[in-house]
């Protein structure tokens, strides 16, 4: 009897629980409050909450809960750890809670934003931002990024920007907007045609082509100093720039020999040129691999334009795309395993993604206008592109699997050739 007993008592039981698939974190946003003495005439508190809600929903990782379902009066809801009515948030299933208090004084804005673990009732991150009322969106995006960093453990796209061409046929300038299309700024004012914006890897400069001097030459604009410098004005075209990952070089398309375009690599400091491709057919639109060891480009060497990859040390070229009659605008994913491009199939232009070894190509846009110029977000989770599905060309963003397509630009002029900025630190 006694001998048998210990064996029974010592046996330890483990229950195995496998995680459910594809769950989104239920997160609640307590309505942001005006904690200052002056009235919030611009409705800044509500606007900031809306920006954060939009960011979280866009990411695809969160389920933003309806704060209206909370029985308490939102206006009296506490925003600090000791004043929050925790039960009402856990009742609706919130795992995380965001609270905000702002105070406005003239054009000055102070925002206190907090993120809590609503189950453990612990604070995750809390920040007090000082800015101007017109920075409210920026501050909201910054805190969205804090939320994402704290929970997902990585940088979000919420503080990134997108450069693009804006204008009409004979007059295009380069503009920059937040990734959600707000806060548009025009960065070139050349009263000319400016094309092909490309961010430097540090996010401080933009290379682009401009006809300001009559010829399509390559320029670099320093965003902080506002200085513009012409870096390549070879006879013929100087177009489709792409910065190397270390920022020291720019791959571009030149047509030095009788109008036949080839890919060259320009050393930004010394202005020395190295020729990458050599083929009687046209080669354009280079895109660096994130490791800097290969360049994807478009070539018509096999007849119709297709995507090719040149390995850098040996300049060995291999073809990537075989489907479709007209594949252009490659952009290499930040993780290095995929290339996005615009392709024509049956008369329609759509965005595709293909593995860099040429396998598993996937169509991301379907039956909605002409879709062109894909550009990856720095986290590799999103792709920006242009589409005329609304009647004229605008910039759209979508998740890298094609879901969540969303127009981010509006107003006058066509917008084309989006370039997603690096993560701005």
Positions in the binding site for other proteins (CB under 8 A): 2-4, 6-26, 61-62, 80-82, 90, 95, 112, 114-115, 117, 119-131, 135, 138-139, 142, 149-154, 425
Taking the least distance from each CB to other proteins, the nearer of 151 and 284 is 151
Strands 228-232 and 238-243: unpaired
Taking the least distance from each CB to other proteins, the nearer of 100 and 305 is 100
Taking the least distance from each CB to other proteins, the nearer of 82 and 270 is 82
- CA distances to 102, 105, 125 from 128, rounded to whole Å, are 9, 15, 10
C-beta of 24: minimal distance to other proteins in Å? 6
Taking the least distance from each CB to other proteins, the nearer of 62 and 158 is 62
C-beta of 16: minimal distance to other proteins in Å? 4
Count Cα atoms within 13 angstroms, Cβ side, for 91: 10
- C-alpha span between 351 and 363 (Å, rounded): 6
Taking the least distance from each CB to other proteins, the nearer of 81 and 256 is 81
Instruction: Please count the other Cβ atoms lying within 10 Å of the Cβ belonging to residue 399.
Output: 17
C-beta of 220: minimal distance to other proteins in Å? 24
Asked if residues 288 and 245 have their Cβ atoms less than 8 Å apart, the reply is yes
Taking the least distance from each CB to other proteins, the nearer of 37 and 122 is 122
Query: For the purposes of burial, counting CB atoms within 10 Å of the CB of 315, is it exposed (0-12), middle (13-18) or buried (19 or more)?
Result: middle
C-beta of 139: minimal distance to other proteins in Å? 7
- C-alpha span between 30 and 66 (Å, rounded): 9
C-beta of 181: minimal distance to other proteins in Å? 21
C-beta of 114: minimal distance to other proteins in Å? 7
Taking the least distance from each CB to other proteins, the nearer of 100 and 330 is 100
- C-alpha span between 202 and 421 (Å, rounded): 9
Q: 23-54: string of b/e by CB count within 10 Å (b at 16+)? A: eebbbbbbbbbbebeeebeeebbbbbbebbbb
Among residues 414, 357, 425, 347, which one has the least CA distance to residue 165? 414
Beta bridge partner(s), residue 219: 208, 230
Taking the least distance from each CB to other proteins, the nearer of 187 and 424 is 424
Taking the least distance from each CB to other proteins, the nearer of 57 and 117 is 117
Phi, psi of 103 (to 5 degrees): -135, 135
- C-alpha span between 329 and 321 (Å, rounded): 12
* Token pair listed for 197: 């914006």
C-beta of 366: minimal distance to other proteins in Å? 21
Q: 319-336: string of b/e by CB count within 10 Å (b at 16+)? A: ebbeebeebbbbbbbbee
C-beta of 75: minimal distance to other proteins in Å? 21
C-beta of 405: minimal distance to other proteins in Å? 19
Query: For the purposes of burial, counting CB atoms within 10 Å of the CB of 235, is it exposed (0-12), middle (13-18) or buried (19 or more)?
Result: exposed
Taking the least distance from each CB to other proteins, the nearer of 21 and 314 is 21
* Token pair listed for 192: 């000319």
C-beta of 82: minimal distance to other proteins in Å? 8
Instruction: Please count the other Cβ atoms lying within 10 Å of the Cβ belonging to residue 186.
Output: 12
């Amino acid at each position: 009897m006694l001998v048998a007993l210990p064996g029974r008592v010592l046996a330890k039981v483990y229950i195995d629980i496998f995680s459910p698939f594809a769950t989104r974190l239920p997160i609640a946003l307590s309505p942001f409050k005006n904690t200052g003495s002056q009235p919030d005439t611009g409705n800044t508190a509500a606007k900031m909450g809306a920006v954060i809600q939009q960011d979280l929903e866009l990411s695809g990782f969160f389920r933003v809960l309806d704060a209206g379902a909370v029985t308490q009066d939102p206006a009296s809801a506490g925003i600090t750890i000791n004043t929050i009515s925790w039960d009402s948030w856990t009742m609706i299933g919130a795992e995380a809670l965001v609270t905000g208090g702002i105070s406005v004084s003239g054009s000055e804005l102070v925002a206190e934003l907090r993120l809590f673990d609503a189950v453990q009732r612990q604070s995750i991150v809390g920040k007090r931002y000082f800015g101007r009322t017109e920075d409210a969106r920026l501050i909201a995006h910054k805190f969205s990024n804090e939320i994402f960093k704290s929970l997902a453990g990585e940088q979000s796209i919420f503080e990134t920007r997108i450069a693009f061409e804006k204008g009409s046929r004979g007059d295009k300038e380069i503009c920059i907007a937040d990734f959600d299309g707000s806060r548009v700024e025009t960065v070139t004012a050349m009263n000319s045609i400016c094309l092909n914006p490309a961010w430097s890897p540090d996010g401080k400069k933009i290379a682009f082509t401009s006809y300001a001097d009559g010829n399509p030459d390559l320029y670099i604009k320093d965003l902080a100093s506002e200085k513009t410098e012409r870096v390549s004005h070879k006879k013929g075209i100087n177009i489709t720039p792409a910065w190397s990952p270390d920022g020291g070089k720019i791959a571009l398309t030149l047509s030095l020999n009788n109008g036949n375009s080839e890919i060259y690599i320009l050393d930004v400091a010394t202005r020395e040129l190295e020729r990458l491709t050599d083929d009687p057919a046209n080669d354009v639109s280079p895109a660096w691999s994130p490791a800097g060891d290969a360049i994807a480009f478009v070539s018509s060497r096999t007849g119709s334009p297709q995507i090719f990859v040149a390995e850098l040390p040996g300049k060995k070229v291999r073809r990537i795309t075989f489907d479709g009659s007209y594949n252009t605008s490659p952009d290499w994913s930040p993780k290095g395993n995929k290339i996005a491009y615009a392709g024509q199939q049956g008369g329609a232009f759509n965005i595709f993604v293909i593995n860099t070894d040429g396998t598993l190509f996937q169509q991301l846009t379907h039956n909605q206008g002409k879709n062109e110029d894909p550009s990856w977000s720095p986290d590799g989770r999103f792709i920006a592109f242009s589409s005329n599905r609304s009647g004229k060309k605008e910039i759209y963003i979508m998740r890298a699997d094609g879901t969540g397509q969303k127009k981010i630009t509006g107003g006058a002029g066509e917008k084309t050739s989006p370039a997603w900025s690096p993560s701005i630190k």
